[in-house]
Chains A and B, each alone.
Chain A
Amino acid sequence: MASEQISFCLNGQVVVLPPTTSAASSLLDWLRGPAGLRGTKEGCAEGDCGACTVALEEPDGARVPINACLTLLGQMHGRAIRTVEGLRDAAGGPHPVARILAEHDGTQCGFCTPGIVMSAWAAVTGDGDPHEALAGNLCRCTGYRPIVAAMAAMPREVATPAPVPASTAACFHAPGQAFHLPRGLHALLSLRAAHPDAWLLAGGTDLGLRVSEHRERPPEVICLLAVPELQALHIDAHGIRIGAAVPYHRLLAALRGLDDPIAAPFARLLARLGSAQIRGLGTLGGNLGTASPIGDMLPPLVALGAEVTIASLCATRRMAVEAFLTGYRTNALAPDEVVTEVIIPRAGPGDVVAMEKLSRRHDQDITAVGLSAWLRVVEGRIRAARVALGGVGPRVLRATAAEHVLMGAPWSLETVRAAARMLDRDIAPLDDLRGSGAWRRAAAAGLLERVWWRATRPDVEPMEAL
């Protein structure tokens, strides 16, 4: 493939970057450097603060907030981006979203403000919860309440999709670096076979940190975002098939429209993965690729008995997620393989499904203990049970001793409590920054008991954090 120039739509104008631009530099560095757009701020360079929030304008009219500090330029090829400088009303004055934030005194020092404006601008196209929209924006000054009040006062908007430059498969070369953006599965797998050491980049919310925080310069990158096969999302009676590079925000929207016992707990958990910005780019494929013991999506996938499809040029295979996760941050992928999709079986109408996450801070915090459970209850008895835990060992694991207690027992609080006591045999959590091992044991038991309360008292919303 010949080298091409990165091109995207920025604030409504198509821009073409010079040929030697490094596709692996961060969007934030480019905006604040060569582009001279310094309204977007840098507060942390690692996705934690949201000061760098900009929004993708998608062809379907969605506005998707993302962290510019984690986004690599090559990922933006063929996309449309809006920054705070690009928000104006028809007369060229401040956009209503910005004006209303100012009127409600939603700023003090103002450093977080451009990011908050972009999160709010992305949110006004939907009827979503302002709290969910704000989860990825830290403000050290205001205490947030005036911002939430301002967001409640913002008029809803219908987004007009931005013009995006036509783009085909591309490869961007910079000194010492090649960034591939294949546009089909076969092309992807060929590249993978040719470059088994290349970074396989999906949303980059894990990998982008290595660029923005550690300033690594990968010599070879293969980006998955433009491969249509990896962007498919298909739901039918047999299962939910999720392309490995489908961003979380699309999965969340799909779950919210789905009638299945899985849908509500899964959506609730997903809404607490990172932040709206992290969900703007992050993917299931990335969570599986990182294979962290506290990857939020992993306990549910294991508990639900989900499978992954793995492809290479030579073969395609399917395996259970449980088997795919081999150890601390390791998985079963061979160097020439790529995860192409995740298949989650549909639950039955009477199934009990719960997915819990305990973290110190409610939002923007990784899991201290995660627990997901799937129980098939038939005529008052538990006929099948799968319980998976994260944050209690080197990898996400099944609680087999607890499952053994559940299996065949009556569906009752006593049974659940007995199973919770057995968790002690399943897990051996360590002490760390987020809590002692002893507390984690107690918390895991508490979370298993919560499965009962979720099923029997759905009216009561338990606390999620702190």
Chain B
Amino acid sequence: MSENTLAQAPVHLRQGSSIGQPLTRRDGVLKVTGGAVYAADNHPPGLLHAVLAVSTIARGRVAALDLAAARAHPGVVEVMTPGHKPALAQDPDEKAGPFAFRLDLLQDDRVRYANQSIAVVIAETIEAATEGAALLAPRYEVEPARMDLHDAESFFPAVVGAGTPAAEHHGDVDAGMAAAAVRVEATYDTSAQYHNAMEPHAIVAVWDGDKLRLDTPSQGMAMAQARIAGLFGIPPENIHIRSPFLGGGFGSKGMISGPQVLGIMAAKLVGRPVKLVLRREQMYGPVGHRAPTRQTLRLGADAGGALTAIGHHTKTASSSFDDFFEPASGASHSLYASPAIATSHEGVRLDTGTPLFMRAPGEATGSIALESAIDEMADACGMDPLTFRLKNYAEVEPISGKPFSSKALRQCYEQGAARFGWASRPLAPRMMRDAAGMLVGWGMGTATFPALMFQAKARATLRRDGTGLMEIGAHDMGQGAWTALAQIAADGLGLDIDQVEFRSGTSDLPDGGIAGGSAHTATAGMAVHGAGADVIARLAELATGDERSPLFGAGNAGVVARGGRLSRRDDEARGESYADILDRAGLAGIEGSGGSAANPVAQSAYAMHAHGAVFAEVKVDPDLGQIRVTRLVGAFAAGTIINPRMVRSQYYGGMIWGLSFALLEKAVTDRRSGRIMNADLGEYHVPVNADVPSVEAILVEERDAHVNALGIKGVGEIGITGTAGAIANAVWHATGRRVRQFPITLDRLID
């Protein structure tokens, strides 16, 4: 049974029985049987295959391509080059909007990073296209590549991340440092990382006149439509994108990438459907990455362990031709109370692809440094790291002074620590060993991620047969939109979930907003919720205005929608089914719509964040430096939990990303050629099953009356934050060595 009343009841009373249920993933069976169709699985008749030729240098010009050899190769249909390509309506280097990143669409012969597309070979088969691409045998005019964060000339960008100010402060950090009894000043390095979703970027493009049909994974179909529309000079509604399943995105499929657009151009050039799928190594350049950082933390504390100052400065890199600066210092804005906080960013330009949002952009990177520094400070103060964090617990958001819309971090600390057994941790490092003589260490970190809201729309229909339809162009990249949004839809419509048809994943549906910033469930969910409320209101209007209805005269405020019936709030026995109302009105169905957006009033009054606490155990072999994470316990509070199974799964995944950040992920560039030396899954390490410890995620109860009417915060990214630092801190506790370069590798633990 589910319900959606029209009265202004508190949110949690309005929630019916679908929200909060641990339903299994509704698309699970499709996925385990191989029936889920991903972009590259589409194969329209007449399909040609396109393969990118990519540069092997990081900076310079393409001097020559053996076009004749490639064109002559059997099966090759066309070779698209700067000199031979369909005209575009817009310069790909034009900044058409804040999220219109500059793309490499063969506009000229310049090479600005390794793995940049320099030509596209289109052929009857994938083999012929690949062989054709190899025959191009490019020659280059090479210019020296700028690859080192510390060699390049730096500057101060005005904004970082998605447009937040690059420098912020409250209070006087220098004064706070001067007054401090204990000071920690340390520098932390993080490495360049690549998203590496398991599904490579892919596109199947079919032109029909000036209409375009695309199968391509997208975390933001409406944004992709707008970008493609601008580039090709066609109306956005002419572009029909299908993206029912993404094989992971993590930010790299948020904006349409250059290679995807090249697939569309290739289809236009040959006048036939074209499929273009990136090879794994081609994902190390044109589809974004997390830039390396060097972060300098300055912490001061008084004799009692109360922070007097937090200074967090980040040096990071963007590409030579566009701006995206990893907003790492922002992590220090909201976590720990301090009378003085100053954060700043400094940028350099390197000959790489443009960095991009990568799961917990800024927060992940900044949190590993901040949590390490906090741990160093706790140690310097002779305090237990949890005690120290509680001592500096922020009752209001430190940088802004705003109250939190809700904050159950204290409960996260308590529940996580209890579950982990933190209380028996020896204060000093290198005190614990296991039976095999391995050093054992325990560390912790605080997790945080802002609760964001974007804009979305949804459409709801109640049908005469008593079923409902909810339509929204939402995105499921694995987080469970097919399930969680259907749950919200069921409650919004006052129907059992089995009575609701949920349509999603295509661009012809109402714009579901972007799946990013951990905000998709909140954003799309609120649109769905609103559409449900709207259609119920219209139905109620029909019934309460009709003398033949038992609800006649009840008035909107007095009607409850539940289990496919409207009934009087004061007397639930008096009511009738949706079907009866529609039947009598002679309607096949009734439609409503909803939209969602952040509430600016609430946003200016409150700081909105999800929080968590992560506890880690590691073992280190004192002879070999091998590190193994053996236990992770995370406790997270993120407002209303729509589906605890999906949420737990997000926390697990996030925590493993934290492990990966701390111990594994690092792109290694050859400083001379600018090429990435480990551009594959064999050498760019992400965790395998055996790297993963026992993991527990505790869902801490939290109600939030301000973030949105359903009280939803995000859960997709927070798991990385806190975890990476907890592991780094556990390594210190095991070994007594503070490694400040991430990932922590074995050679840093033995000499």
A residues adjacent to B (C-beta < 8 A) = 22, 25, 29, 32-33, 36, 38-49, 51, 83-85, 87, 94, 98-99, 101-103, 105-114, 117, 131, 134-135, 137-148, 214-215, 217, 358, 360-366, 433, 435-436, 438-439, 442-443, 445-447, 449-450, 457, 460-466
Of the candidates B621, B645, B686, B695, which one forms a contact with A446 in the assembled complex, judged by CB atoms under 8 Å apart? B621
Which has the most chain A C-beta neighbours within 10 Å: B30, B680, B687?
A: B687
Of the candidates A103, A138, A364, A443, which one forms a contact with B624 in the assembled complex, judged by CB atoms under 8 Å apart? A443
5 A-B residue pairs with CB within 8 Å? A33-B125, A43-B198, A101-B28, A111-B38, A463-B436
Select the stretch in B243-251, B327-335, B400-408, B520-528 that faces chain A.
B243-251
Select the stretch in B232-240, B300-308, B648-656 that faces chain A.
B648-656
Given the complex, which residues of A lie within 8 Å of B126, measured CB to CB?
29, 33
Docked-complex contact A139 and B25, CB < 8 angstroms? no
Contacts A44-B280, A98-B32, A111-B248 known; A463 to B619 CB distance under 8 Å? yes
Distance from B41 Cβ to chain A, minimum over Cβ atoms (Å): 4
Select the stretch in B62-70, B472-480, B702-710 that faces chain A.
B472-480
Distance from A364 Cβ to chain B, minimum over Cβ atoms (Å): 5
Select the stretch in B312-320, B344-352, B742-750 that faces chain A.
B742-750
Question: What residue of chain B has the Cβ atom nearest to residue A39's Cβ?
Answer: B34
Given the complex, which residues of B lie within 8 Å of A436, measured CB to CB?
747
How far apart are the CA atoms of A275 and B27 in the complex, in Å?
29
Give 10 closest A-B pairs by Cβ, nearest first: A39-B34, A111-B247, A109-B478, A110-B31, A108-B478, A102-B28, A439-B747, A84-B34, A446-B623, A362-B690
Docked-complex contact A110 and B41, CB < 8 angstroms? no
Docked-complex contact B134 and A215, CB < 8 angstroms? yes
How far apart are the CA atoms of A215 and B128 in the complex, in Å?
9
Docked-complex contact A94 and B750, CB < 8 angstroms? no
Of the candidates B29, B198, B619, B683, which one forms a contact with A51 in the assembled complex, judged by CB atoms under 8 Å apart? B198
Docked-complex contact B682 and A364, CB < 8 angstroms? yes
How far apart are the CA atoms of A385 and B280 in the complex, in Å?
45
Within 8 A of A (CB), among B478-531: 478-480
Docked-complex contact B751 and A438, CB < 8 angstroms? yes
Given the complex, which residues of B lie within 8 Å of A49, measured CB to CB?
198, 681
Of the candidates A109, A143, A463, which one forms a contact with B621 in the assembled complex, judged by CB atoms under 8 Å apart? A463
Select the stretch in B90-98, B375-383, B540-548, B625-633 that faces chain A.
B625-633
Question: What residue of chain A has the Cβ atom nearest to residue B283's Cβ?
Answer: A44
Say yes or no: is B668 at the interface (Cβ < 8 Å to chain A). Answer: yes
How far apart are the CA atoms of A47 and B24 in the complex, in Å?
31
Docked-complex contact B32 and A358, CB < 8 angstroms? no
Given the complex, which residues of A lie within 8 Å of B435, measured CB to CB?
460
Contacts A45-B280, A49-B681, A108-B653 known; A215 to B436 CB distance under 8 Å? no
Say yes or no: is B678 at the interface (Cβ < 8 Å to chain A). Answer: yes
How far apart are the CA atoms of A215 and B695 in the complex, in Å?
41
Given the complex, which residues of B lie within 8 Å of A449, measured CB to CB?
623
What is the 8 Å Cβ interface bit string for chain B, positions 11-46, against chain A (1 contact, 0 not)? 000000000000011011111111111101101000
Of the candidates B279, B626, B649, B746, which one forms a contact with A105 in the assembled complex, judged by CB atoms under 8 Å apart? B649
Contacts A110-B27, A135-B689 known; A101 to B682 CB distance under 8 Å? no
Distance from B659 Cβ to chain A, minimum over Cβ atoms (Å): 9
Given the complex, which residues of B lie within 8 Å of A462, measured CB to CB?
436, 438, 621
How far apart are the CA atoms of A83 and B34 in the complex, in Å?
9
Of the candidates A42, A145, A433, A457, which one forms a contact with B677 in the assembled complex, judged by CB atoms under 8 Å apart? A433
Question: What residue of chain B has the Cβ atom nearest to residue A360's Cβ?
Answer: B685
Docked-complex contact B681 and A43, CB < 8 angstroms? yes
Of the candidates A36, A360, A443, A466, which one forms a contact with B43 in the assembled complex, judged by CB atoms under 8 Å apart? A36
Docked-complex contact A46 and B680, CB < 8 angstroms? yes
Given the complex, which residues of A lie within 8 Å of B436, measured CB to CB?
457, 460-463
Given the complex, which residues of A lie within 8 Å of B751, measured CB to CB?
438, 442
Given the complex, which residues of A lie within 8 Å of B623, measured CB to CB?
442, 445-446, 449-450
How far apart are the CA atoms of A32 and B691 in the complex, in Å?
31
Say yes or no: is B573 at the interface (Cβ < 8 Å to chain A). Answer: no
How far apart are the CA atoms of A143 and B649 in the complex, in Å?
8
Contacts A105-B645, A134-B689, A466-B628 known; A43 to B280 CB distance under 8 Å? yes
What is the 8 Å Cβ interface bit string for chain B, positions 125-165, against chain A (1 contact, 0 not)? 11100110010000000000000000000000000000000
Contacts A108-B479, A360-B745, A443-B624 known; A87 to B33 CB distance under 8 Å? yes
Count residues of chain B with CB under 8 A from any CB of chain A: 84
Docked-complex contact A107 and B32, CB < 8 angstroms? yes
Contacts A105-B25, A131-B690 known; A435 to B747 CB distance under 8 Å? yes
Docked-complex contact A109 and B691, CB < 8 angstroms? no
Docked-complex contact B246 and A109, CB < 8 angstroms? yes
Docked-complex contact B652 and A107, CB < 8 angstroms? no
Which has the most chain B C-beta neighbours within 10 Å: A47, A107, A462?
A: A107
B residues adjacent to A (C-beta < 8 A) = 24-25, 27-38, 40-41, 43, 125-127, 130-131, 134, 196-200, 245-250, 277, 279-280, 435-438, 477-480, 619, 621, 623-628, 645-646, 649, 652-653, 655-656, 663-664, 668, 677-678, 680-683, 685-692, 694-695, 745-747, 750-751
How far apart are the CA atoms of A29 and B747 in the complex, in Å?
40
Which has the most chain B C-beta neighbours within 10 Å: A42, A44, A111, A446?
A: A111
Which has the most chain A C-beta neighbours within 10 Å: B198, B656, B751?
A: B198
Docked-complex contact B33 and A146, CB < 8 angstroms? no
Chain B at the A interface: SS class: loop
Which has the most chain A C-beta neighbours within 10 Å: B30, B645, B646, B688?
A: B688
Contacts A44-B681, A94-B29, A140-B686 known; A442 to B649 CB distance under 8 Å? no
Docked-complex contact B248 and A102, CB < 8 angstroms? no
Docked-complex contact B280 and A433, CB < 8 angstroms? no
How far apart are the CA atoms of A84 and B692 in the complex, in Å?
26
Docked-complex contact B694 and A145, CB < 8 angstroms? yes
Docked-complex contact B695 and A107, CB < 8 angstroms? no
Given the complex, which residues of A lie within 8 Å of B691, measured CB to CB?
361-363, 465-466
Distance from A460 Cβ to chain B, minimum over Cβ atoms (Å): 4
Docked-complex contact B692 and A94, CB < 8 angstroms? no
Given the complex, which residues of A lie within 8 Å of B688, measured CB to CB?
134-135, 138, 361-365
Distance from B368 Cβ to chain A, minimum over Cβ atoms (Å): 17
Question: What residue of chain A has the Cβ atom nearest to residue B719's Cβ?
Answer: A143
Docked-complex contact A140 and B280, CB < 8 angstroms? no
How far apart are the CA atoms of A217 and B131 in the complex, in Å?
9
Distance from A462 Cβ to chain B, minimum over Cβ atoms (Å): 6
How far apart are the CA atoms of A362 and B246 in the complex, in Å?
28
Question: What residue of chain A has the Cβ atom nearest to residue B648's Cβ?
Answer: A105
Of the candidates A47, A102, A145, A363, which one forms a contact with B31 in the assembled complex, judged by CB atoms under 8 Å apart? A102
Of the candidates B127, B248, B745, which one forms a contact with A109 in the assembled complex, judged by CB atoms under 8 Å apart? B248
Question: What residue of chain B has the Cβ atom nearest to residue A364's Cβ?
Answer: B688
Docked-complex contact A137 and B689, CB < 8 angstroms? yes
Given the complex, which residues of A lie within 8 Å of B438, measured CB to CB?
462-463
Docked-complex contact A107 and B28, CB < 8 angstroms? yes
Question: What residue of chain B has the Cβ atom nearest to residue A358's Cβ?
Answer: B624
Given the complex, which residues of A lie within 8 Å of B646, measured CB to CB?
105
Which has the most chain B C-beta neighbours within 10 Å: A85, A105, A106?
A: A105
Contacts A39-B33, A107-B32 known; A142 to B649 CB distance under 8 Å? yes
Of the candidates A83, A141, A438, which one forms a contact with B248 in the assembled complex, judged by CB atoms under 8 Å apart? A141
Contacts A99-B29, A113-B32, A463-B626 known; A433 to B198 CB distance under 8 Å? no
How far apart are the CA atoms of A146 and B690 in the complex, in Å?
14
Distance from A327 Cβ to chain B, minimum over Cβ atoms (Å): 24
Distance from B420 Cβ to chain A, minimum over Cβ atoms (Å): 17
How far apart are the CA atoms of A134 and B688 in the complex, in Å?
8
Of the candidates B28, B41, B480, B663, which one forms a contact with A466 in the assembled complex, judged by CB atoms under 8 Å apart? B663
Docked-complex contact A110 and B245, CB < 8 angstroms? yes
Given the complex, which residues of B lie within 8 Å of A101, measured CB to CB?
28, 32
Docked-complex contact B480 and A108, CB < 8 angstroms? yes
Distance from A353 Cβ to chain B, minimum over Cβ atoms (Å): 20
Given the complex, which residues of A lie within 8 Å of B131, measured CB to CB?
215, 217
Distance from A311 Cβ to chain B, minimum over Cβ atoms (Å): 33
Question: What residue of chain B has the Cβ atom nearest to residue A217's Cβ?
Answer: B131
In the complex, given contacts A109-B477, A438-B747, what are 9 additional A-B residue pairs having Cβ atoms less than 8 angstroms apart? Answer: A42-B40, A45-B279, A105-B645, A108-B653, A114-B32, A135-B689, A140-B686, A439-B747, A447-B624
